[in-house]
Structure 1
Amino acid sequence: MKMPQLLIILVTILVHAAGAFPADRRGLPGRDKHATWDDVNVVAHGLLQLGQGLKEHVDKTKAHMRDVNAKLKAFNGTMADLERKQQEQDEALKARSREVEERERLATELAEEVRGQVEEAKKQSEDIRSRMDRLEEKVDEVQGVDSNNSDHTFIQRLVVAQNRRIDQLVEKIKHQQDKLEKQSLHLQALQSKVAHKRVKSHRRRDEETALRGEAEHSNNTTGFAKDCHELFVQGQRASGVYTIQPESSRPFNVLCDMTSEGGWTVIQKRQDGSQNFNQLWESYKRGFGSLNGDFWLGLESIHSLSKQGQYVLQMELSDWAGQQQVAARYRFQLDGEEKLFALHLEEESSSGVQEDIMTTGASGLPFSTADRDNDLAADVSCAELLSGGWWFSSCGDLNLNGRYPRRPSVLRRHHFRRQGMFWTSTKGQKNSVRTTLLKIAPATTKQ
């Protein structure tokens, strides 16, 4: 029974009891006195019940208060545990952030060190290449000496010594390239670890935000564009090196050629012969060179771009005189390594280009290098004969990854002309090449 109801009953009983007592008890007969004591007994009984009810209510209230206090203590304990855990997680997150920053700093320092070593190696390679060219010219001059010369034996010994020196220089270049590749792999491993730490840090931060009830909708994408044209759509207009991430691929750097129509991703560029393109399968698969100079993007990276949809390949060539400028455009697709990076081409009917640099009839050709002979020539390896790696159908049609002559005079020698960069015109004429630029963009890009 509630407290207000008990008070009402008590007041009612007292009122009735007061009305039952006479104003003057001396003049009352015996029967009235007896009735008054009954009323007193009723009042006393009611008061006793009221006291018992009040006592039960007080006991229940005390038990309820004890239960409430116990729950409040448990709640306070839970809140204290949550605050303690939150502090521990904040401290752990700060420690991880400091660790990630330290790793990024170390990766940056290592990248600078590797860059310096690469530049030094380039200078040494350039010097060695220059020496090799001079030795090759001397060899050609010696080989042209008349066989009746009295110093023929001495010249032969000189040729052998020079050939031996050339072989030693080539071995040194290969050794330097191996060292650079190992350092590059080490740098990539460090960058991968830093990226992994950063992803784990972001994931932990999201979990902590959800625990506090402040979780917000987050975007799981890395924020990288899938190719140079997407960067163009996002507002980038300056040509240069950018980081992209094609679908289902890792991020990597590319050279973007931004034109008024859209962004083109450059997959091969040769302008000064600073990079040796006579590489093996694994090098062509991963890519090599400098994005600020001569380079090959890498078959795996080109395939990751191609599989995103329909792309267009544009090829721009120039000769040594700088007068002949040739460009051709094709619909382009590149298979993966399981199909030997086979190239599929379809000539663009609307490109307006009269020259056909690559014959589209050879579409579906696999890629070939000196250690992976996949060309269509049955009796010879075109990559060994011509130098470099390419989609060879035969050994006389086209090779834009051949040797880069140091001087135009070298082009006149048959040996170097055969191994140099060249393309065959529609009239069957072989044309030497000085610069090349191969770039791709989505087929939806304005032509």
Structure 2
Amino acid sequence: MLLQLTAALLYYTSLVSGQQRCSYVTVPVCGDDVNNVTPGSLISGRSEKGVAGPPGKMGPSGFTGQKGDIGAVCLKGDIGPPGEVGLRGFPGLKGEKGAVGQKGEALDLEDFKREIRERFLEIENLLPAVNCSTSSVSGYQRLRNYKKAVCDNGWTVFQRRFDGSVDFQRTWQEYKDGFGKMEGEFWLGLDKIFELTSGQNCKLKIKMTGFDDTTPYAQYKKHKGKGKVCPGRPKINRKTPTKNVFRFRSSFAIDDESENYRLHVSGFSGTAGDSLDGHSNGSPFTTKDRDNDR
């Protein structure tokens, strides 16, 4: 019987290996009935599908693949042309009218003028002084016209000597241009003194300090009455129109170089002696290389 079953299985195997689609059923064989089993009786109709078995266990995870190469970086494209200007929007609705403000108080003209003056004075104090007469600072400083000057309580200092560090035995040209340093001993210069006094109402003050620390001074200021004839504002002489007569308006002034810087001074007062009004008034300037006293 076992030999017959083996033969049937071999026969089925040969059918499968022969690339033939076959199906078979198992025929129960009991006792001597195995002799009646033939290959044809084993391979008969299609059998019924069995019940699906339970799913198998999940297999282990596969190995992680290698990281791929980085792709090439693409070039940035060109900027596209600007779009067309859109249509103008509709105008907005007109807003509501605001509330009427309260009526202001009437402006006092005098108060307004006083406030304007105060504002101008505040601005004036922030700017450099126009000259020493408007300056509240004493010492070396730069004026509003970018010129340098030494001021002393409103006075313009044009000569200062105190320690003998500067030689004042100078030539005509040096006295014309000026010499020394304004931080120490100096002479401002005849041209600059003429510019300061010409046509101006100027006063002259000479301050001295003695060895006993006394401080005598001499001051020349304008007297009441008519002035003297010297440089000032020109006035045409009606009788002789070809000549210009200059009316003196100051107690201290000098002529220009064409008149050898002639001195004009009057109105002495002070605690020192008067060495200018009686002797040097009207005299030209003199230096070691240009004697104008003869």
**Does TM, scored on the shorter chain, surpass 0.5?**
no
TM-score range, shorter chain: 0.3 to 0.5
Q: Which has the higher contact order (CA 8 A, sep 6+)?
A: 1
Larger Cα-atom Rg: 2
Q: Which has the higher helix share?
A: 1
Q: TM-score, normalised by structure 1?
A: 0.29
